[in-house]
């Protein structure tokens, strides 16, 4: 497994865990406040496009085990979601959040990020003790 896979797994995993904990502690209001501010959402989308592009350009790996492919898929997901956020109108985003009942059920929306965070963190750090050819 490459060093870039290990690094990105650790980075994405730890970032996801920190964000899940922060949003779980602070509640759905933090996301609701962001969605209500179009300028802030645009800046967040721009930064996220940069992060997604960085992952996709540096790690577009489609073989070598579950972790390298998962890192690539998450990179593409980040990029696609960010580009979508650049072009969606604030009213449409607010309506979508309302239709999904985000404020009432935001904990359920954290589950995928928690699973990715736990797996990537575990796999990224566990792979350090194994040989370069280990596949997780």
H helices of the chain, where?
A: 3-26, 29-35, 38-58, 66-87, 90-99, 102-126
Residues 6+ apart with CB under 8 A from 7: 124
- Confirm whether 134 is domain-assigned: no
- Confirm whether 136 is domain-assigned: no
Q: What confidence tens digit (pLDDT) does each residue in 84-118 have?
A: 999 998 889 889 988 988 878 888 989 999 999 99
**Cβ atoms within 10 Å, residue 71:** 29
> Containing domain of residue 46, as a range?
3-128
- Confirm whether 82 is domain-assigned: yes
Q: What confidence tens digit (pLDDT) does each residue in 46-81 have?
A: 999 999 999 999 999 999 999 999 999 999 999 999
- Confirm whether 135 is domain-assigned: no
| The total number of structural domains that make up the chain | 1
- Confirm whether 12 is domain-assigned: yes
How many angstroms separate the Cα of 2 from the Cα of each of 9, 49, 94, 129, 133? 11, 24, 40, 13, 8
- Confirm whether 84 is domain-assigned: yes
- Confirm whether 86 is domain-assigned: yes
Report the predicted TM-score, pTM, of the whole model to 2 decimal places. Answer: 0.85
- Confirm whether 10 is domain-assigned: yes
């Amino acid at each position: 497994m490459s060093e870039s896979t290990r690094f990105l797994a650790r980075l994405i995993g730890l970032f996801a865990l920190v964000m899940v904990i922060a949003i779980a502690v602070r509640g759905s209001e933090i996301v609701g406040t962001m969605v209500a501010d179009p300028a802030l959402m645009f800046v967040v989308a721009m930064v996220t496009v940069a992060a997604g592009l960085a992952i996709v350009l540096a790690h577009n790996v489609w073989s070598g085990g579950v972790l390298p492919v998962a890192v690539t898929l998450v990179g593409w997901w980040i990029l696609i979601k960010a580009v979508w956020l650049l072009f969606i109108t604030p009213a449409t985003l607010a309506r979508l959040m309302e239709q999904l009942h985000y404020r009432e059920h935001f904990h359920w929306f954290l589950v995928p990020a928690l699973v990715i965070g736990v797996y990537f963190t575990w796999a990224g750090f566990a792979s350090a003790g194994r040989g370069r050819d280990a596949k997780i």
